[in-house]
A = this chain, B = another copy of it.
Amino acid sequence: MAVRSDPSVGSSGRPSSDDAPRSDVSQRSAHDVVCIGNALVDVLAEASDHQLGELGLIKGTMVLVDGARSASIFETMGSTVEASGGSAANTAAGIAALGGRAAFLGRVADDSFGRSFLHDIRSIGVTFDPTPTTAVPGETVTGHCLVLVTEDAERTMATHLGVASEFGTADLHRGHLISAEVAYLEGYLWEQDAAKAAMREAIEIAHRDGASVALSLSDPFCVEHHRSEFLELIHNDLELVFANEDEITLLFGTAGFDEAVEAVAETGVLAALTRGDKGCVVVTPSGPVEVPAEPVDRVVDTTGAGDLFAAGFLFGMTHGLGPSDAARLGGVCAAEIISHVGARPLADLRALAIGVGLLD
């Protein structure tokens, strides 16, 4: 597995029960990455800064809301478009769109959102075999995320988790979990106690099978809520961490981004730190590497930018690219997703990657 075993990339030196190198193609797992997260359908509409203020929402962040609050925010929204979303699910879709083998673990109800989510993720080629949920009409709904897109293309989100809030160890499909080279977890899951416990188990299963574990810090709010746990994970359990500038600075409580990069470097974890149109910094064992952002004609909707960056990076790292090229591939995927409404790729990501010489 390139993230951990390829010496050219550098090993983080984490303990593993499986010392055999996994880079040999003949030994490759059934999935490159298993992504674990909240299964959500995005409900997108244009919004104004004024509207965000009236609703008490903070631009660029995600907030969890109950059904009633979700309904009252929905009331204020303009014409909507619905499309499958969910952070880790978007990443799985991106990996599949690049030609990678991804599985997804999450929880959906048997309603129209759930059927749509299931259809969409499978149709792009992701393996998803959810644990059936008990159907209590009107009481269990598939999670949905109200996405308010402002004129500056920034997205502000209010998520009603629905059945996703019940995600737990019962949803850890062991067959898929032990089949992957990397287990990718979204930080949003730490907001739920049952999911948090399940993630501890997922990390253990992944490591037992010699897989690497990657975590996305997801949102500054998640970092504020779970700072000590995330720090402990980085020091003890993770091979790879994804964060944006705000999240990583908040996590290490540093004065600025450069100091945060130094702090990450000291932990020895491989880190992909995104900075919007300033590109990203990959912290590798041989030092930090800056990678510029891919140019975009017109930024329409930044929903999914981080998720698709992770998709490109994870695909690259599990397909022989070094961290810089993997980050460039992440940038190509993020550039595609922010050029249109919605968080799932519309263009042929593989063709785009071939076009810029990253894949052949």
Q: Which residues of A contact B (CB under 8 A)?
A: 45-46, 74-75, 77-84, 93, 111-113, 116, 119-120, 123-124, 137, 340-342, 344, 346
Q: Do the beta carbons of B79 and A81 come within 8 Å of each other?
A: no
A-B contact pairs, 28 of them (CB 8 A): A46-B346, A74-B119, A75-B119, A77-B123, A78-B123, A79-B83, A79-B93, A79-B120, A79-B123, A79-B124, A79-B344, A80-B83, A80-B84, A80-B116, A80-B119, A80-B120, A80-B123, A81-B81, A81-B83, A81-B342, A82-B116, A112-B112, A112-B113, A137-B137, A340-B340, A340-B341, A341-B341, A341-B346
Q: How many copies does the complex hold?
A: 2
**In the bound complex, CA of A102 to CA of B78 (Å):** 16
**In the bound complex, CA of A160 to CA of B75 (Å):** 27
**In the bound complex, CA of A340 to CA of B112 (Å):** 25
Could you say which residues of chain B place their CB within 8 Å of the CB of A78?
123-124
Q: Do the beta carbons of B79 and A82 come within 8 Å of each other?
A: no
Give, as a whole number of angstroms, the nearest-CB distance from A194 to chain B: 26
Nearest residue (CB) in B for A41 is B82
Could you say which residues of chain B place their CB within 8 Å of the CB of A93?
79
Known: A79-B93, A81-B83. 7 other contacts (CB 8 A): A78-B123, A79-B84, A79-B120, A112-B113, A340-B341, A341-B341, A341-B346
Could you say which residues of chain B place their CB within 8 Å of the CB of A124?
78-79
Q: Which 7 A-B pairs give the minimum distances between C-beta atoms?
A: A82-B82, A79-B120, A81-B83, A78-B123, A112-B112, A79-B344, A79-B124
Could you say which residues of chain B place their CB within 8 Å of the CB of A80?
83-84, 116, 119-120, 123
